[in-house]
Amino acid sequence: MPLNLLKKYNQLLDITALNEQKRTESLKGIFNRDIRKNVALSFRNKPVFPTPKENGEIAMENLFNHLTRKKIDKELRNREFDFDRSVRLHWIKYHINEQKQDNMFCFSVKEPDGIRTYIYDKDEKYVIVLEPLRNNTAYYLLTAYPLMGKDAARNKMKKKYKRRLTDVV
């Protein structure tokens, strides 16, 4: 849907009435504009790349899936379409560019599988997860999602924030 390309933060994309093919086309239009074809995408003057471990288009498809689908089975790594993630797809670039200043928390946490940098929009309960490259000259964009549920969402970010590193990595 071409009108989705005109949506701004904090509007939601209009994908409800679209069939699966049209919905995917609309979401890929946003994804291509904001991430795949955006060579200037950077966070704090460091370039942002698709998720690691794969090359080229495969990595981009993997990232698209992480941004529009949620895990339903951890063991099988199955993912299904997530309406709540998808309608906020265009928020990623806005937050990575740090266009919103109020009620935003940006912090890094040492997790079991490495350091993660979180961009958390407290008002919208929306999280973007970045992974700094080992040499700290760039980031991988791992995923982005809304926190669902009143207390669970808030507590999840509070716990991470309490464990934050001194500096954003």
Residue 144 lies in a domain: yes
Give the pLDDT score at 55: 59
Count of beta carbons in the 10 Å neighbourhood of residue 41: 18
- What would the pLDDT profile of 41-69 be if each residue is shown by its tens digit? 999 999 998 876 655 567 888 899 989 99
Give the pLDDT score at 50: 82
Domain extent, residue 14, equals: 2-162
**Sheet containing 104-111: which strands, arranged edge to edge?**
42-43, 46-49, 139-146, 126-132, 114-121, 104-111
Residue 58 lies in a domain: yes
Give the H or E element holding residue 78: strand 78-81
The model carries a pTM of 0.91
Residue 169 lies in a domain: no
Residues of the chain with pLDDT under 50: none
The count of structural domains within the chain is: 1
DSSP 34: I
